[in-house]
Amino acid sequence: MNAFDPYTYRDDFPILAQSVHGKPLVYLDNAATSQKPLPVLNASRDYYEKLNSNIHRGVHHLAQAATAAHEAARETIARHLNATRPEEIIFTSGTTDSVNLVASSLGRSDRFVNGDEIIISGLEHHSNTVPWQMLCERLGITLKVIPVLDDGTLDLDAYQELLSDRTKLVAVNHVSNAFGTVNKVVQICSQAKKFGALTFIDGAQSLPHMSIDVQDVDCDFYAFSGHKVYGPTGIGILFGKHDLLCELPPWRGGGEMIKEVTFEKTTYNDPPFKFEAGTPNIEGGIALAAAIDYVNKVGLTHIASHESALIEKAAAMLAGLDEVAIYGPPDRTGAISFNFEGIHHYDLGTLLDQMGLALRTGHHCCQPLMARFGVSGTLRASFALYNTEQEIDALEAALKRALMMLR
């Protein structure tokens, strides 16, 4: 029996109380964005009502208080990831921004020469594909791809064959946003290290569902987005090993990322500030820390166990329906993707919306992965701590009704 009771926490999420098309909202699109609990909403409002000021630059009270709150948020996130120091935490606008930061900074360094190689995987979101493609085109680097097996997992034997002395970077996601596949990132990073390659882990879909220890993963970079872990949109985190951050050049210029500016020369600031040009999303960083505190108060172990039970129930329910294809391995995390023979995922998703259920349809920004499985997209249900077994029952009833209408 799962002891976790999601109803204990649902009142913390005011948006869940509403109706959609006259039906109670069943929100199953958490892999796209999760809803925000009251402590996060309050943190955002409190900042603007009590602290609103620019940071790091003022001597007056509000500036000092806002700076202290923002840097305390950095420390909260550093502890959550088990970074060695707060300076390894860079505030960005999200995972996409973090990938572009690393790609751009590496592109301005001396770490790549023509003929070098970058390895990504066939499970990647476009945001962990396109920036590396752009870097490869600019510098004459070759992009290689770890194949995806029929069960939706990576072919790690093929990955081993792809690695060589020309490999300079391996960039993979921790959890697939499309299939919920959990990649063996510790093994992937360890193998890359043998060839002296840097490693970048996209943690956008892993951080809401599991404890992350960047020292245990031993990656060079780890990124995530606040809005997928009950925090605000427009805020994200890039973890980078401190020595590497000190080495890399900044990717944007402006205020705060400098120590001294003359018209002849600019001296850059130390990490993390040399990667945080301009006024940051101060409120977003503070509210993200509130989201991390909320998750830790609930307990990631309890959350993971609850969500795993929901996915198992959803998988068993779907398997009992006719002409269904379920994608990804059985030990998926966070999300489950499926299609029904002869029925377009968009049509089915539209009917489900009319019944009050919010699921995601489409290619999930993973067009190469969809092509690998010969589909234009899937219907995806993704879960959070506030979802319930009764909502899986509601999904089953809605699917049966919609399928009767479409067949």
Q: What is the DSSP annotation of 203-223?
A: -TTTTTTS---HHHHT-SEEE
Which of the four CATH numbers 3.40.50.300, 3.30.1490.190, 3.90.1150.10, 3.40.50.2300 does domain 7-30+299-406 have? Answer: 3.90.1150.10
Is the confidence at residue 166, as pLDDT, over 70? yes
Stretch (H or E) spanning 167:
strand 167-173
* Integer Cα distance of 129 and 343 in angstroms: 29
Mean pLDDT of 66-92: 98
189 is catalytic: no
Which residues on neighbouring strands pair with residue 121, listed in sequence order?
A: 146
Specify the length of the chain in residues.
407
Tell me the pTM: 0.96
CATH 3.40.640.10 range(s) for the chain read 40-296
The stretch 279-286 carries a mean pLDDT of: 96
Q: How far apart are alpha carbons 117 and 105 in whole angstroms? A: 17
- Per-residue confidence band for 57, with pLDDT thresholds at 50, 70 and 90: confident
335: helix, coil or strand? strand
Q: Residue 23 phi/psi, 5° resolution? A: -120, 150
89-146 per-position pLDDT tens digit: 999 999 999 999 999 999 999 999 999 999 999 999 999 999 999 999 999 999 999 9
| Start-end of CATH 3.90.1150.10 domains in the chain | 7-30+299-406
Residue 331 has pLDDT above 90, yes or no: yes
Q: What CATH fold (topology level) applies to the domain 40-296?
A: Aspartate Aminotransferase; domain 2 (3.40.640)
Report strand pairing: 117-121 vs 142-146.
parallel
CB 29 within 8 Å of CB 360: yes
Q: Indicate the average pLDDT of the chain.
A: 96
Catalytic residue among 189, 219, 365, 366: 365
Q: Determine if residue 78 is left, alpha or beta; phi over 0 gives left, psi from -120 to 50 gives alpha, anything else beta.
A: alpha
The reported pLDDT for the residue numbered 1 is: 40
